[in-house]
Structure 1
Amino acid sequence: MLPAIMALSSEAAVSDSFFGRLMYKIDGWTQLGPVSFLITLGTGLLMVLVGKILIVWLSRILRRSLARAKKINDLMARFILQLVNIVGWIFLIIAFLQHMGLNMGPVLAGLGITGVILGFAFQETIGNLLSGVMIVINAPFRIGDYIEAGAFSGTVTDMDMICVILSTPDNKKITMSNKLVWSNPIVNYSNIERRRVELTVSVPYKADLALAKQVIKNIIDTYPEVLAEPAPVIEVNKLNTSSVDFVVRPWTKPADYWKVYWRFNGEILEKMAQAGFSVPFNQLDVHIIDQPKAN
């Protein structure tokens, strides 16, 4: 008696499940005949086609509207379009299954419990999705910006709901999760009008500091990439054990930063040598004390 009851309970559980109702509905379709089934399937596919056209049409209108909005950047626009597209297809699939005769009410109700289980299973993915939302809302960077996030840096080439893709200067592709990007300080080197170049020049202690400063200034003045305002800073910054260090801080546009940096470091040694300045090296003074001999 007990095995029979358990078998009936198991059969009822299967019949109450989504797949049980689906198998039951398939049996119903076979009983209706091929003509009725094809008509139902055809109208359902037509509904899917019309829904797809509506989604594409809505996406185009939304894309144009977002392009005209001044407060919506390209990342936010792409994120919104992806979200609308996914939600639209979810509703379209549900409508198609409902049209085919499947009762989607219990299925949607069961998604609450399933959602909790999936939330634990895909918490990293959900974290990336929420981090992507925060990146889109705060807009710390755009496509084409050169950024630094944690230990990685590069030009932002793409972003979706899960990850950010960077391209490094040596043409490496870095794929970072949105959560990893958002959890680290984001430094944007492109979203600024000007950037300060940090340079250092060392001269010996016996050098003429005024002349050294003038030589450095003459080099900087020949660079058309260096901005006149703010004026470059050339000052003694540190007294090391074997050298006097000048800090050189010209301002450039972000695109000209490395051009000025590499050119200056390539020219400074020759220019300083022409002006009579030697390269300072670490020096060690050794004092020998002559001890009197004992009688």
Structure 2
Amino acid sequence: MRWLVIFALFFSLLSFAEETEQASDQKKDEFAKIEQLDAEMAELYKDSQGKVGTAKNIIDMQVLKKNEDIRAELQNLIKNRTEENTPKVTKFVNEQVEYLNLAIDFLFKRIAILQNDLDDVDLEQKLITQKTLNETTAFYHTILSEQWVNFGWLELLGTPADKSKLALIKDIEQRLDFLSAKLSFDHQQESVLSGQIRSAADEEKASLQLQYIFAQREVASDIDNLQFIVDLANKMKIDTTDFTKQLFVISGNLTNEILDYKVILSLLSDWLEDFRDWLAQNTPQALFKIFIFLLIIFIFKILKNITRHIVTRAVSAPTLRMSQLMKDFFISISGNTVLCIGILIALSQIGLNLAPVLTGFGVAGVIIGFALQDTLSNFASGMMLLIYRPFDVDDFVEAGGTSGKVSHMSLVSTTIKTFDNQILIVPNSKIWGDTIKNITHEKVRRVDMVFGVSYSDDIEKTEKVLEAIITEHPMVLRSPEPTIKLHTLNSSSVDFIVRPWVKTEDYWDVYWDITREVKMRFDREGISIPFPQQDVHLHMINKAAPPK
């Protein structure tokens, strides 16, 4: 019985030893692939020494691929880490940190060398060197991003590298400033070259076109690099508001940082919380500043009225000869401008930072501009109407498919009152895009009338009667002279044209008076006014009687 116990104990110890050995083998297998990849990287690094050109580039790409495989393995190990393998995983991560530090230093120096080469080579060679520099810079930024991931891994493993992490954050902040300045410079160069190309002679355009292509590629590379670093900086909790704004202004791209409603809600929440804390700590000062705010608004309202009065007197000077619409525009815009300035000054006095507000207005203006394209078209048409002044207030016009008296005009629409006292609001783009007929623009108008008489009436007598009617009317002008001529031998009448000149405001009175007087005088003088008629002649044919 004792031997059975001994044998059982022996086999138990043997089984435990096998399980321990298997566990040890399993742990070795966890790191075997990383160690193998590490050894292959070291071998490739040795092979790359002394090689240049394409051969070295190929080996460098192999090293990069091996390191990416190592990082993938490390990611899995960190995700499934245990207390036993954590020290060794930490060791591998620290090796990654050291390796990437060497890569960062090497790439930084390489970028400086390429930048110097870029300044020294000719223009055609610059495009080739530029491509290499852009690829190297993009790789450099990728390495910086991977280094940030390494520091995150170390924190998960319980061994944070705070000093190295802070140093990397400082490098990223400096990188942001450098890339921002470079983008501003290159964008300015691109704009200058664009203007030079438009005004350059034909023999100079070829060289300028190459410089412009180089500048365009620089700007595109700067935008990509700055956007990458901005995204990395956001992960580091670095404030990138100014850089995001710069990217939007230059590239015009709406990124998630600008349009994401969660970001907007978060900003609004932060502003509200800051305002609440500030108000709790500074209530007396807040009340005083609110008083100052209201006082400034009140003062600028008075200044608005004074400005409107001054501008009204200025634009009403007879020497300016401005239309009433233009006068109203200047009066309105001057008063509103003064009030807006007052509001901005009042907001600054209560401690509100106007920079993000104005930035928000700029972004909102672009978005609203896309949504209100028709309104902006009306606004542009309104400005053209004010500049060219095809009509004024109280003019009778035919425009935009309507006719009537101009009652009021804004920058987006024109109000027209019809002759039967209806109000029509017509968009300015419809008016400006159509024919505009101003009936009352001129001070003198010609009244065009046609009167027909019978073929049997005396032509000379008719002319004298018409001349007497025109001459006797007090509103008909003597100069220009009226026109009375036999115009058309019509099918049923002999037509006379009668065209007196009158003041614009007397047009319809003269038209109606003369028409009435012609009818009455023609009746007294025995002159007939024919109406359309036809004579029908019947010819009767006598048929012979049939034979009986």
TM bucket, shorter chain: 0.7 to 0.9
Unaligned runs of 5+ in 1: 1-8
Structure-2 separation of matches of 1:11 and 1:169: 51
Q: Cα offset for 1:56?
A: 2.7
By how many angstroms is 1:196 displaced? 0.4
User: Cα–Cα, structure 1 residues 282 and 56, in superposed 2: closer, same or farther, change >3 Å?
Assistant: closer
Farther off after superposition, 169-178 or 285-294: 285-294
Q: How far 1:291 moved relative to its partner?
A: 4.7
Structure 1 counterpart of 2:301, one-letter code:
K
Amino acid at match of 1:178: N
Superposed, 1:1-295 pairs within 5 Å as 13-14=263-264, 17=267, 19-68=268-317, 69-291=319-541, 293=543
Task: Confirm or deny: 8 A CA contact 1:25 1:102 kept in the other structure.
Answer: no
- For residues 103 and 12 of structure 1, the distance between their equivalents in structure 2, rounded to whole angstroms, comes to 22
Distance 1:121 1:88, change over 3 A: farther
SS in 1 for 2:424: strand
- The structure carrying a bigger strand percent of its residues is 1
CA contact (8 A) 2:303 2:338 kept: no
1:149 Cα deviation from its structure 2 partner = 2.0
Query: Does the CA-based 8 Å contact 1:195-1:253 persist in structure 2?
Result: yes
CA contact (8 A) 1:165 1:174 kept: yes
Aligned residue pairs total: 287
The structural deviation recorded for 1:199 is 0.8
Query: For residues 15 and 45 of structure 1, do their structure 2 counterparts lie closer, same or farther at Cα, with a shift above 3 Å needed?
Result: same
Bigger Rg over Cα: 2
Residue identity opposite 1:137 in structure 2: I
- In 1, distance between residues paired with 2:265 and 2:511? 73
Change over 3 Å in CA distance of 1:227–1:283 after alignment to 2? same
Give the fraction of aligned pairs with identical amino acids, expressed as a percent.
34
CA root-mean-square deviation:
2.7
1:6 corresponds in structure 2 to none
Q: Which has the higher contact order (CA 8 A, sep 6+)?
A: 1
- Partner Cα separation in structure 2 for residue 52 and residue 37 of structure 1: 22
Deviating beyond 6 angstroms after TM superposition, the runs of 4 or more aligned structure 1 residues are 9-12
Displacement of 1:72 after TM fit? 2.7
Whichever structure has more helix as a proportion of its residues is 2
Using structure 2 for the length normalisation, give the TM-score.
0.48
Task: Tell me how far 1:84 sits from its aligned partner.
Answer: 2.4
Q: Against the structure 1 CA distance between its residues 152 and 218, is the aligned structure 2 distance closer, same or farther, given a 3 Å change threshold?
A: same
Q: What is the TM-score when the length of structure 1 is the normalising length?
A: 0.85
Q: 2:316 aligns to what SS in structure 1?
A: helix
1:12/1:181 CA distance change after superposition, 3 Å: closer
User: What is the CA-CA distance between 1:38 and the residue it aligns to?
Assistant: 0.6
Give the secondary structure class of the aligned counterpart of 1:230: coil
* Structure 1 CA distance for aligned equivalents of residues 300 and 403 of structure 2: 42
Equivalent-residue separation in structure 2 for 1:152 and 1:110 (angstroms): 41
Could you tell me how far 1:16 is from its partner in structure 2?
5.1
Q: Deviations over 1:140-188 (max 9, x none)?
A: 2222323332433333333233332333444333333333332332222
Quick one: distance in 1 between partners of 2:262 and 2:530? 89
**Cα gap change, 1:43 to 1:25, in 2 (>3 Å):** farther
CA positional deviation for 1:249: 0.5
